[in-house]
Homo-oligomer: A and B are copies of this chain.
Amino acid sequence: MSDLHWNSAITKVEPNKLTVRGYPLDGLIGKASFAQMVYLLLKGEMPSENASRMIEAILVSSVDHGTTPPSVLSALNVASTGAPLNASVAAGILSISKFHGGAIEDCMLTLKSAMDIKKGKGISLDESAIEIIQKFKAENKRLPGFGHRLHTNDPRTHTLFALANELGIADDYCKLANVFVNQLKEISGKELPLNVDGAIAALLCEMDFDPILANGFFMIARVPGLIAHIYEEKIRQKPMRKIHPTDVIYDGPENRSL
């Protein structure tokens, strides 16, 4: 052991044997889902069947948002120069930041802060939400996770929350998120529905994930979408084209269901 010796508790690497968080990897292949591996890697333990399904749903809900996000536009601009796939993905990942995906972490912090106030002061969820909303209002800031420039009634949010109820994942944080929606309407007079970032934030709080990891879930989910767009750029477009951010029309298949 050198004086730079360190430890890691993630994966044990031995000749012909890989063990992830104590589970031999070859015993997981074909048995565990990718969503379970995400949970196992980030929490250190295998999720319950219901938590597995919740993580799977969260990842599915965030795989892509078309050509509108800056992560896709930066990735396409890089891909357009003939850069390899991984460099283009990296540029997309670099865009998953404060104003793009960042609301998940910020909303988790807000919800946790409201929960702390509730517990610390022995007040109700409503009183605690009001306190937070007034604080944001005083600082002239938007509450992260509520409202969306495009989706006023995001079907992803409803589906995620319905599933969370069905799976028994929904608890105080989901209640709190809805309390915020009601109090925001009460105080501001405006409908500011929970958006998909806010919904994921509440669900990650329910499953006790560290807010630092919020952006991680978004990145894991979105990489396949980024790759699909970069691949389409490479096979369908000319190099060095000027990429218009809005004058783009969907021309894929319409209206299918499972």
Contact = CB atoms under 8 A, between A and B. Distances in A.
A95 B73 contact: no
A17 interface: yes
A4 B61 contact: no
Contacts of A98: 81-83, 239
A128 interface: no
Contact of A26 (B33, B89, B159, B223): B159
Contacts of A235: 210, 212
A12 interface: yes
**Interface majority SS (helix, strand, loop, mixed), chain A:** mixed
B12 A250 contact: yes
B89 A93 contact: yes
Interface in A46-66: 46, 53, 56-57, 59-61, 63-66
B73 A243 contact: yes
B28 A258 contact: yes
**Candidate in A37, A46, A212 with the most chain B CB atoms within 10 angstroms:** A37
B30 A63 contact: no
B249 A5 contact: yes
Interface residues of A, number: 130
Interface string A238-257: 01111111111111111111
B155 A17 contact: yes
Contact of A251 (B2, B9, B41): B9
A30 B159 contact: yes
Interface in A1-29: 1-2, 4-13, 15-29
Given A6-B249, A8-B67, A31-B258, 12 more contacts: A2-B244, A6-B241, A7-B251, A8-B249, A15-B150, A16-B153, A33-B56, A34-B63, A41-B227, A77-B77, A86-B97, A244-B245
Top 4 closest A-B pairs, CB basis? A82-B98, A9-B252, A22-B253, A26-B155
